[in-house]
Amino acid sequence: MVIKVVSPGILPSDIKYDAVCTHCKCRFEFTGADGKITSDQRDGAFITVPCPTCNRTVSQKSRSPDDELRRRQNNNVDPY
């Protein structure tokens, strides 16, 4: 049996995020592999990373691979 990939998936560790540190205003990008996922029953999942300038914790709402595909399609970015 031969497996054929119809469309490749997106790993959560490959999702890119943009962030701005509220302390020093550093603007930076990171991937899911760079951060730590923290779940909150009420607010959902967040990914946290240290700011590359001041080392304070910066949080972003975590995105699922489905959310990332939709975001890429809405921004006319190649989804893969």
37 lies in a domain?
A: yes
pTM as predicted: 0.73
- Number of domains within the chain: 1
58 lies in a domain?
A: yes
Q: State the amino acid at position 73 in one-letter form.
A: Q
What would the pLDDT profile of 1-29 be if each residue is shown by its tens digit?
Answer: 899 998 888 888 888 899 999 999 999 99
Average pLDDT over residues 53-75: 86
71 lies in a domain?
A: no
38 lies in a domain?
A: yes
What percent of the chain is helix, strand and coil (3-state, nearest 5)? 20, 35, 45
Residue 58: both structure tokens together: 């910066």
Q: Helix (H, G, I), strand (E, B), or coil: what is residue 40? A: strand
Bridging pattern class, strands 57-61 and 44-50: antiparallel
Mean pLDDT, rounded, of the chain: 87
